Chain A
C-alpha cells in the first residue's frame, strides 16, 4: 500500500544504498585490515596447534568462549528486542527495529565461529551431527543454534521483504543492474496486495513470537553448558535466567552504540531522535537493575555460605581480578542507571558512553564467569606447570577477538548498503490504533 510520502523517504535514504563515500571506504578498508590480521592469526593457530593460545590443561576455555557467549548474547538480545517491539507495535520502534534485526542475524553468524576456534579437531566437526549424543549440553546447543539461525533468517527475511519490494519498484534509484535483479528475485513478487499483506503480517507475528521464545531457550541452553558441570562457580542454579538477562543487557548496549554510529554516518538525526535513545536507555536501565540483582544474588549466596571452593573463587575474584570485578559488576550496573535515571544526565552522548561501558563491563563479566572458575578447581593446580596456573590470552586470541568485532561492523555496514537501515515500509504504515495493539 503506497502513499505519497513513500518515494520521498526512499529517495532520502537512496544515497545510502547508491553511494559509498570516501570515509566509508576508509572504514571498510580498516575493517578488512583487521580481518586480514585475524586470518593470519587463524592460520598460525591451525598450523601450530592450539599451543599458540593461552589455554592450557586447567583453563581450557579462554576468550574464544567468552566471545562466543558475548556474540550469542547480542544476537539473542537483538531477537528479543525486535520480536518484542514488533509484537507491541510501538510507534517509536520503527526507525530502530532494522538495526535490532541486523544485530540478531549478524552476531548469530559470528558467534558460532568462536566455538570453531576452540575445537581441537575441526576436520571432525561433522561428528557433531552424525555421532551427536542427546545427553550432552553441547548437542543441545548445536540443535538450538541451528534452529535459531534458521528462525532468525526467516524472521529477517519477512521483516525486510517489503523494503526490498519498495526498492525494486523505485525506478529512479541508481543502482547497478545486478543489484536490481537481486532485489527482484528476493522480493518474491511482493506487490502489496491485501492478501499478501495479511499473509506477511501473520507470518511475521508468528515468527516474532517464535524468535522471542527461541532466544530465551537457546541462551538458557548455553548457560546450562556451564551450570550442569560440577565446577565451583559454574554449578549455579541461577545461570539460565542470569545469562538471558545479561544477554539482553549487552544487546541494548550494542544497539545504542550502533544507533549512534548510523545516526552520525547517515545523518539520520531526524529519525533516530533523543527519544529513541532514552527509550532503549530505559530498557538498559531496567536490565542493569535486573543484572545487578542477579549478580548480587549469585555472589551473595556463594559468599555467605562460604563453601570452601566458593570461597576460593571469590578470593580469587577479589584478589587477582579486583578491578575487573568492580568494572563489570559495579560500574557496569550503576553507570547506566545513573545516566538514564537522572534527567540532567540523560543526553544522547552520555547514554552512548554508558552503553560503551556496559559492553565492556559485560564482556568482562563473561570473562570473570569462564576463567576464574577454571583457575580454582577442586584439586589445586599442582604437579602441573607453574605457567599453567593462570590464564594469559595471547596475541592470536586478541587478534581473533578484534576480527570478530570487525566482521560484525563490516557486515552491518555492507548490510546497510543493501537494505535501508531504517525500516522504510513500516515508517510509511499508518499507526495502529490503540484498540488494535497486540491483536
Chain B
C-alpha cells in the first residue's frame, strides 16, 4: 500500500517536472537567472616549511546568511611581490570541492621582498558571469623552523631553531617567538608543549617519554607558528626513535572466545560428544524398526481372522 502511494506521488511529480524543467532546476540552484553576479570572498594564508618552500592556500567561498558555501572549480591566480610593483605570477590552481586551491612554491633567492623583508602575496579569482571577481593580499616574512634532538645527562630534549630571511640571503634568528610543538595522530595533531625561542633563535624542551610512535618507536615532532602577524604560518618537523613502540593488536592466530568467529575447543567437543551419544541411540532404535520390517518379510504368519470372535 505504501508503494502505491509512492508510485502515484512520483508520477504526479514527474508530470510537474516535465512541464517546468527549467524552473525545477532552479530549486536548489543559485541565482542562475538573476542578473546580479554574487559576491565571493577568499581566505588566504601562506605556510613556510622547513625545506624552504611556501605553501599558499586560498579558499574561495560565498557567505549566504549564516551558511558558508564553497566554490569548486574556481580558477585562483597566485602572485608574490614587494607590494610596490607588480608581483611575480606564481601560478593558477582550480579550487577543489571544499573551495581550496593550494600551490607550493620554492623559496628562491633573491626573494621578492621589500626592505623589511616582507613579501606581499596575492590570490585572486577572476569571477564569471555568476560570481564577482575577488582578490586577497597580505604580507609576511619568510621564516624557517628546524627541529632537532639531543640528549644531555641521559635526559632527552627537543631543540627548535628558528630563522628568518630577508631579501638577499640575510639570515637572522627568530628570537623571542613562541613555537608550539605537536606530534601527528590519526585525526588531529597532539600538542605536546610550547617553546619560547631565545635571543639566538633556539629553544628546547624535554622530550615527553609517554608518547607512542609507530611499531619501531619512531615519531615525528612538528614545530609550528600559527597566525603570526609577521611570519604567518611556519612549520618544521623531524623524526626520532624515542617514542614507545606502538603495541600491535592484530594477532597471528584467531583467538577462541565466546564472541569470536571460531568457538572455544571445549564447546565443540562437548557438543559433538552429546550429539553422538544421542544419535547413537536413535540409530539403534531405527535399526530395530528396520529389523522388524525385514523379519516380517521372512516369516509370514497366517493372517488372523477375527470373524470367529464376534
Residues of A whose CB lies within 8 Å of any CB of B are 2, 4, 7-8, 133-135, 140, 143, 147, 150-151, 154, 157-158, 161, 169-172, 188-191, 193, 195-196, 199-200, 202-203, 206-207, 210, 214, 217
Contact = CB atoms under 8 A, between A and B. Distances in A.
B281 interface: yes
Contact of B292 (A8, A190, A206, A210): A190
Interface in B255-299: 258-259, 261, 263-264, 267-268, 271, 274-275, 278-279, 281-282, 284-286, 288-289, 291-293, 295-297, 299
Contacts of B303: 169
Given A154-B286, A157-B289, A200-B292, A135 B263 contact: yes
A199 B307 contact: no
B13 interface: no
Given A172-B307, A203-B289, A193 B278 contact: no
B306 A147 contact: no
A190 B304 contact: no
Given A133-B263, A210-B278, A214-B278, A203 B307 contact: no
Interface residues of B, number: 35
Contacts of A171: 305-307
A134 B268 contact: yes
Interface of B: 258-259, 261, 263-264, 267-268, 271, 274-275, 278-279, 281-282, 284-286, 288-289, 291-293, 295-297, 299-301, 303-307, 309-310
A135 B259 contact: yes
Contacts, number: 89
Given A169-B303, A199-B292, A203-B285, 18 more contacts: A2-B304, A133-B261, A134-B263, A135-B258, A135-B264, A151-B282, A154-B285, A161-B292, A170-B306, A171-B305, A171-B306, A191-B296, A191-B300, A193-B299, A195-B295, A196-B292, A199-B288, A203-B288
B285 A4 contact: no
Contacts of B279: 147
Contacts of A196: 292, 295-296
Given A143-B271, A188-B293, A207 B304 contact: no
Contacts of B301: 191, 193
28 contacts: A7-B306, A7-B310, A133-B261, A133-B263, A134-B271, A135-B259, A135-B264, A143-B271, A147-B279, A150-B282, A151-B278, A154-B289, A157-B289, A170-B306, A171-B307, A172-B307, A188-B289, A189-B292, A191-B296, A191-B299, A191-B300, A193-B299, A196-B292, A199-B295, A200-B292, A203-B288, A206-B281, A207-B282
**Nearest 9 A-B pairs (CB), nearest first?**
A189-B296, A203-B288, A134-B263, A203-B285, A199-B288, A188-B293, A7-B309, A210-B281, A7-B306
Nearest to A214: B278
B298 to A, nearest CB: 10
Nearest to B304: A169
A191 B293 CA distance: 10
Nearest to A134: B263
Contacts of B274: 217
Contacts of A195: 295
Contacts of B286: 154
A211 to B, nearest CB: 10
A44 to B, nearest CB: 12
Contacts of A214: 278
Nearest to B308: A7
A193 B295 contact: yes
